[in-house]
Amino acid sequence: MTYKFTIIVPVYNEEDNLERLETELKNYLKIASVPTSVLFVNDGSSDNSKALIQSICERNEHFDFISFKKNCGLSAAIKAGFDHANSELVGYIDSDLQTAPEDFNLLLEHIDSFELVTGVRSNRKDSFVKNVSSKIANGIRRAFTHDGMDDTGCPLKVIRTANAKRIPMFRGLHRFLPAMILLQNGRIIQIPVRHFPRLAGKAKFGLWNRLLGPLMDCFAYLWMKKKYINYEIEKSSK
């Protein structure tokens, strides 16, 4: 079967969410607007996530996985997914199911006119501290990148795979995917999606990850922007 869309699912110590995640993704594949596959990226989990992922992939023909030897972080997991995807489109969703796979269809409606379509979480179901820190972090990032995005931390995105593979990833750069598409002269848009409270497992990001970490990453992005090479081939003999 030829897939048009690959959903990357980074996983780090999410054993309590994986069975429900399997059910939600299986249900989505039945209603997906394009032929879709799922690619789990086990980010060196120390719980039973790896074994559960293997079992899930064995009983679902449209599911595959790769597994890191050790924990490398969310950006590395997303980058590995981009590198291994063979479909025209690629996206990702967090394994905590605070966003709904069904909302990928909302994003896919717009991908023909854009290189990246990202969700923006409406009516967020997070704690006051998490919401405020995320708003501050997004404000800082917008001041550096001028990408116009309100919620780059939303774990629901669809990207043209050719553009995704050209994104140079380093730790923390998952927050800058829209900005990196803009560096390629790509078009981006944000679409409201649903948001839900976390029902199981533990959040992997704390105050440092949401405020001070992103601030430091902004300086890394400015360096990357200065050094970024973008070219277009006008003519070729082949």
State how far the Cα of 107 lies from the Cα of 76, in Å rounded to an integer: 23
- pTM, to two decimals: 0.82
Domain residue limits, the chain: 5-227
What are the tens digits of pLDDT across the range 50-101?
A: 999 999 999 999 999 999 999 999 989 999 999 999 999 999 999 989 899 9
Non-local (6+) Cβ contacts of 157 within 8 A are 91, 92, 107, 116, 117, 118, 119, 177
Q: How confident is the model at residue 226 (pLDDT cuts 50, 70, 90)?
A: confident
What are the tens digits of pLDDT across the range 116-164?
A: 999 988 776 555 445 555 665 666 666 666 676 767 778 899 999 999 9
Describe the chain by its helix, strand, coil percentages, rounded to 5: 40, 15, 40
DSSP 3-state of 37: strand
Pairing of strands 89-93, 63-67: unpaired
DSSP 114: -
CB 131 within 8 A of CB 211: no
Reduced 3-state DSSP string for 68-86: CCCCCCHHHHHHHHHHHCC
Give the CATH number of domain 5-227. 3.90.550.10
State how far the Cα of 178 lies from the Cα of 116, in Å rounded to an integer: 7
Select the more confidently predicted residue: 237 or 155. Answer: 155
Cβ burial of 88 (10 Å; 0-12, 13-18, 19+) is: middle
State how far the Cα of 148 lies from the Cα of 139, in Å rounded to an integer: 10
Mean pLDDT computed over 45-54: 96
Q: How confident is the model at residue 203 (pLDDT cuts 50, 70, 90)?
A: low
Reduced 3-state DSSP string for 40-108: EEECCCCCCHHHHHHHHHHCCCCEEEEECCCCCCHHHHHHHHHHHCCCCEEEEECCCCCCCHHHHHHHH
State how far the Cα of 150 lies from the Cα of 190, in Å rounded to an integer: 8
Both structure tokens of 83: 């590198």
CB 72 within 8 A of CB 169: no
State how far the Cα of 91 lies from the Cα of 38, in Å rounded to an integer: 10
